[in-house]
Amino acid sequence: MDSHRLAPRLLASWQRSRRYGLSPEEMRPVFTGSVDTASLFYECGHEVLRGLRDTLANEAVSMMIADSDGLVLCRVCDDASISRSLDRVHLAPGFSFAERDVGTNGLGLALTDRVPSLVRADEHYCAGLRGYTCAAAPVLDPGTGGLVGSVNLTTWSDSSSKLLLALAQAAAGNTAALMLARGTGRRVPPSPRGEVFRVYADRYHQHDHTHQALSPGWTDAVAAARTASVRGRIVAVVGEPGAGKAALAATARRQTGARERLLSARAPAPGDVAAWLALWAPELGKDSTCVLVSGVDRLPAWAATELARLFDEARRVAGEGAGRLPPFAVTAQRYSAIPDVLRPLVDTVVEVPALRFRPDDILPLARHFAGRHRGPTVTFTPAAARALTSYDWPENVGQLRRVVCEAASRTDVIDTRHLPAEVFTGSSGQLTRLQLLERDEIVRCLTEPGTTVAQAAAKMGMGRATVYRKMARYGIRVPGQRRGAGP
């Protein structure tokens, strides 16, 4: 097929396939020999495909799920002829059909661009796949919003493909819904739609923690980013979700002393990328403007390619002026997760330590968030302070902000009873809804002022030994809790 006749997304995929050094005539998918069948995604995806098989009885359609790396985990198909054909091209469990392994294909493109994708016949990069039409849709983890894999439906290239993509999308949605139902106790993250970027020029103090007495773990990272910026280097700030990557990058830029406007562009939903780029990209080349692009590891491949072009152009323009700061910075969870086309533009990588590694920052940040939310009159009791500093904060600063703001909405003096049960519990695996209710009720009773374990047990109609067993089961720890005598 003439590549010039391809749609823009498919053309970009073909261009990436060439850069990977793949041959259109020879396909060599990577074989691992084993797949993970113990994950929640596999369990739910396989169940959805088995149900879909009944709907597509007597149809020459093969249904697959693949993990986020493109590794085929399972294949469900009742048509022997298409199964034998797919075996010949190794589209089978244990083989990787990521774009970088076999070129443009529906499964790989859905994972790369993180949007539903349909690749027909000769739109495939490798000739061996041109006898098929493939539709695939990504599956997002309902707890974290991260990419966990895809659902792929494959049929013959001369078959009708009108409903194929809709079926793949429905199967992906059903898989995510089933994961949510079985993964109880997990919050669904907010949608990335809505606010595209914020201008920090006039209200930067909302994100500036430099007036707080923070730990060396934070201040050293800020200093490293500031020094790199002053030297004209492009900085990538990496770290766990919610650790404060964007806040650190913004703080470092402000500490350079430059009087500049800072635009923070958060990675949007995949379908909103074109509008997202059009909205802020014109600001990139302006004097005294720095663009901070957060979450570049979540961008579709085609968007990363366009961003690399814009960044490269802005960097060349900025380099023409002596003493100018770099015009942009980026954040990601890991340097290795930054798209290949963006990685060469990064000169310095600065890691933000997770909040559990800098416990001295917890109370200063808590006071900061409470003050921003309600005012400086909000205080913490010693017991609440101990509870906050004793918790590991797996979701980092973002979780701390949410917990503190919710508590500050209820009172001016935050005590343990104003904090959610999650702050008093360790990791205890996935809990059912009934277990969550029981855990939260135990924590509620234990955090009542002056309540002993014995008193809490009597209030709940349990024996004290039973309460201790359940505390151990749920990992409940209430700092300063008195054991008390039995009733």
| pLDDT tens column, 5-39 | 889 899 999 999 999 899 999 888 888 777 888 89
Residue range 328-342, pLDDT digits in tens: 999 999 999 999 999
Report the 10 Å Cβ neighbour count for 414: 26
Give the confidence band of 353 by pLDDT, cuts at 50, 70, 90.
very high
Query: Can you give the pLDDT at residue 196?
Result: 47
Tell me if 479 is assigned to some domain. Answer: no
- State the pTM of this model: 0.68
Q: What is the mean pLDDT of residues 81-86?
A: 94
132-140 sheet: strands from edge to edge:
72-76, 61-67, 147-156, 132-140, 117-119
pLDDT of residue 202: 35
Same domain, 444 and 419: yes
Task: Give yes or no: residues 92 and 134 share one domain.
Answer: yes
Q: What is the mean pLDDT of residues 300-313?
A: 91
Assigned domain for 104 exists: yes
Range with the lowest mean pLDDT among 76-80, 91-95, 110-114, 276-280?
276-280
For residue 403, is it within any domain?
yes
Residue-level pLDDT at 227: 95
Residue at 484 is within a domain: no
Domain that holds residue 422: 357-474
Please report, as a single letter, which amino acid is at residue 72: V
Residue 463: band (very low, low, confident or very high) from pLDDT cuts 50, 70, 90 = confident
Based on the fold, state whether residues 302 and 322 are members of the same structural domain. Answer: yes
pLDDT, residue 426, reads 67
pLDDT on residue 4 = 65
pLDDT of residue 365: 94
Q: What are φ and ψ of residue 41, in 5° steps?
A: -60, -45
Read off the pLDDT of each residue in 476-485 and give the average, rounded to a whole number.
64
Q: Is the pLDDT of residue 155 over 90?
A: yes
Q: What pLDDT score does 112 carry?
A: 93
| pLDDT tens column, 156-175 | 998 877 789 999 999 999 99
Answer yes or no: is pLDDT of 150 > 80.
Answer: yes
Domain count, the chain: 3
Q: 199: helix, coil or strand?
A: strand
Flag whether pLDDT at 93 surpasses 70. Answer: yes
pLDDT tens digits, one per residue of 413-435: 999 889 988 888 865 556 666 77
Residue 35 lies in a domain: yes
Spatial separation of the C-alpha atoms in residues 479 and 96, rounded to whole Å: 49
CATH number at residue 29: 3.30.450.40
C-alpha 381/C-alpha 416 separation (Å) is 8
pLDDT band of 83, cuts 50, 70, 90: very high
% of the chain with per-residue pLDDT over 90: 53
- In this structure, is residue 190 part of a structural domain? no
Pair (49, 111) in one structural domain: yes
Q: Does position 193 have pLDDT exceeding 60, yes or no? A: no
210 lies in the same domain as 267: yes
Mean pLDDT of 362-383: 90
* CATH number of residue 235's parent domain: 3.40.50.300
Considering the domain architecture, whether residues 26 and 153 belong to the same structural domain is answered as yes
Residues 128 and 239 in one domain: no
436 has pLDDT over 90:
no
Q: Which residues of 156-165 are buried (b: 16+ CB within 10 A; e: fewer)?
A: bbeeebeebb
Task: Provide the b/e sequence for 123-134 (b: ≥16 CB within 10 Å).
Answer: bbbbebbbbbbb
The mean-pLDDT minimum among 60-64, 76-80, 192-196 falls in: 192-196
In a domain, 276, yes or no: yes
Residues 334 and 303 reside in one and the same domain: yes
- Which residues are registered as beta bridge partners of 118? 135
Task: Give the pLDDT confidence of 208-266 residue by residue, as tens digits.
Answer: 454 567 899 999 999 999 999 999 899 999 999 999 999 999 999 989 887 778 888 88
Of 331, 353, 375, the position where a domain reaches its end is 353
Q: What is the CATH number of the domain that holds 366?
A: 1.10.8.60
Percent of the chain scoring above 70 in pLDDT? 89
Are 342 and 439 found together in one domain?
no
- Whether residues 132 and 279 fall in one domain: no
Residue 458 maps to a domain? yes
Q: What is the average pLDDT across 114-141?
A: 95
**Of 304, 322, 353, the domain-final residue:** 353
Q: What is the end-to-end Cα distance of the chain in Å, rounded?
A: 82
One domain for residues 423 and 445: yes
- Exposed e or buried b per residue across 219-228, where buried means at least 16 C-beta atoms within 10 angstroms of its C-beta: bebbebbbbb
Exposure on the CB side of residue 253, measured as CA atoms within 13 A = 33
Q: Which of these, 304, 303, 297, 294, lies nearest to 275 by C-alpha position?
A: 303
Other C-beta atoms within 10 Å of 399: how many?
A: 19
pLDDT of 447 strictly over 80: yes
Per-residue confidence (pLDDT) for residue 140, from 0 to 100? 92
CA separation for the pair 329, 311 (Å, rounded): 10
Q: What is the pLDDT of residue 205?
A: 42
Do 247 and 167 lie in one domain? The reply is no
Mean pLDDT across the chain: 85
The pLDDT value given to residue 161 = 78
- Of the three residues 293, 319, 353, the one that is the final residue of a domain is 353
